[in-house]
Amino acid sequence: MRKPVMAGNWKMNKTRDEALQFIYAVSDKLPSLDKLDSIVCAPAIILRDLVKRQGDSLKIGAQNVHFAESGAYTGEISPVMLASTGVEYVIIGHSERRSYFAETDETVNLKAKAALDHGLKPIICCGETLEERENGSTNEVLKRQITKALDGLTSDDLKNVIIAYEPVWAIGTGKVASSEVADEACGYIRGLVQGIYSSRTASNLRILYGGSMSPKNVSELMAQPNIDGGLVGGASLNPESFLELCNKAVQD
């Protein structure tokens, strides 16, 4: 049995005060850790403040990491620095980073390895654009992204990896993938992992759906056999909505 995950990706939102208010509003109302991994991935500048106040049921993640331990990379944050804040997770290869900040399959792979080397658990994102879906290359894109992202990772590493399938056309658009389309893609990813590793590794891997997930559609999406949770942008910003997502994620 895979433990479900509900991860909020706040993107470039929330000041320190707003983030702390959120944490205080949700921390004693979340499902317990044995039922759900509830995560918020926050801007780096406030991670330490959140870690100090995360409580028993909330986990904290970052939204990006550099692959080098230190060096002349102005403005970047190394895995050593991130680990020192006490965060547990880090999103890697989000489509916004791929399209606005020149993230490639190669840097995604380097970052995933660097995160794991420093005890951070990567949430590796993949997903096709609208054009790629319409021209029938979704599986080809997912295969390339996943194969490259996982290159050199061992099956032991995979125990600490989460994959998020986020079709680019569904992100921030209000156009959620149907549960069948989302499940088919997540199932395809699971099959790829089975081919690279083993059926045991694949069946233990948690795969999330992301893209306009909300309290309205979370139950149907999570009822799908290959979807183990969500990576949620807009609907994770409001504490009531995040709580609703988390509570629905643990309902049968």
In the complex, the residues that contact ligand 13P under the rule CB under 6 A are: 9, 94, 166, 171-172, 210-213, 231-235
Say how far apart CA 104 and CA 107 lie, in whole Å. 5
Which residue has tokens 């590493």? 157
Q: Which is nearer to ligand 13P, 50 or 197 (CB)?
A: 50
118 has catalytic annotation: no
Give the shortest CB-235-to-ligand 13P separation in angstroms: 6
Annotation says 94 is catalytic:
yes
Q: Which is nearer to ligand 13P, 161 or 171 (CB)?
A: 171
Give the residue from 146, 142, 132, 220 showing the smallest Cα distance to 176. Answer: 220
Q: In the complex, what is the shortest distance from the CB of residue 174 to ligand 13P, in angstroms, rounded to a whole number?
A: 8
Q: How long is the chain?
A: 252
* CB neighbours of residue 231 within 10 Å: 28
Residue closer to ligand 13P (CB basis): 142 or 213: 213
Return the amino acid letter for 99.
S
Looking at beta carbons, which residue is closest to ligand 13P?
Answer: 233
For 5, counting Cβ atoms within 10 Å of its Cβ (0-12 exposed, 13-18 middle, 19+ buried), the class is buried
Question: In the bound complex, what is the minimum distance in angstroms from residue 84's beta carbon to ligand 13P?
Answer: 24
Q: Which of 103, 128, 132, 166 is catalytic?
A: 166
Q: 94, 96, 128, 132: which one is catalytic?
A: 94
**Burial of residue 141 (number of CB atoms within 10 Å: 0-12, 13-18, 19+):** middle
**Which of residues 13 and 155 has its CB atom nearest to ligand 13P in the complex?**
13
The catalytic site residues sit at: 94, 166
